[in-house]
Amino acid sequence: MKATGKKIEFTSLPDGRVAVMEGEEISVLKVEDREFIDMMAELIKKQYPGAWKALCLNYKGSEYNPGYFKFKCVCRFISCNMGKLDALKYDVDNGVLHLEDISCPIRKECPFCDIVCHPQLYGMTKREQKILKMRAEGQTYKDIEQEMGTSQSSIKNAIQNVTHKLKLCSSKDLMKIAAAML
């Protein structure tokens, strides 16, 4: 399995395994797919560090086998956030994770609700989240300036700060993530 991160779609199979569709290739994710698992782990850690930390705690008993440990964490994140086969957008598109609303029978009982499933981009202030949401909705810097009572340079700085916090390459990647959050 390739680890390009360009355009990937996932689906959770009835037996709990994860199917990966990358281009024309469809396969079931296996522990041996280390390069792919490493790529996904890095994307999750970078974009959703709080979810990754919770997954690491949950699977702490498997840490003695690092490959299996990472495999379990990645599969759980995919199952909770991207396991629905849809035609709306790719689950991974050029390194940006697009989360889906997955129906879960134990949502209200699960200790990971809103941590692993429906995770937030941690490290952002409420102000930064609001700015990103407004930009992703298509509002201009001037619109945001008027609504929030802050300068356009402060708005641009907030976007740059979040881009840096999440270790993204550009604010364009950040806007893709913000759009996926809406």
* 3-class state of residue 18 by DSSP: strand
The burial class, CB within 10 Å (0-12 / 13-18 / 19+), for 104 is middle
pLDDT the model gives residue 1: 65
pLDDT at residue 181 greater than cutoff 60: no
Nearest to 71 by CA among 92, 55, 53: 55
pLDDT the model gives residue 167: 74
pLDDT at residue 57 greater than cutoff 90: yes
Q: Which domains does the chain have, with CATH numbers?
A: 7-97 (no CATH), 126-181 (1.10.10)
Question: Could you report the per-residue pLDDT of 86-144, keeping only the tens digit for each?
Answer: 767 889 988 888 888 888 777 778 888 878 887 876 567 778 888 988 988 889 999 99
Residue recorded with tokens 């945001």:
144
How far is it, in rounded angstroms, from Cα 35 to Cα 14? 25
Question: Could you report the per-residue pLDDT of 13-48, keeping only the tens digit for each?
Answer: 999 899 999 888 899 999 999 999 999 999 999 888
How far is it, in rounded angstroms, from Cα 35 to Cα 6? 14
CA 89 to chain centre: 14
pTM of structure: 0.73
At CB < 8 A and 24+ separation, what contacts does 135-143 make?
135/159, 135/175, 135/178, 136/175, 136/178, 136/179, 136/181, 136/182, 137/182
Contact by Cβ (8 Å): 176, 96: yes
pLDDT the model gives residue 136: 85
How far is it, in rounded angstroms, from Cα 47 to Cα 96? 8
pLDDT the model gives residue 5: 63
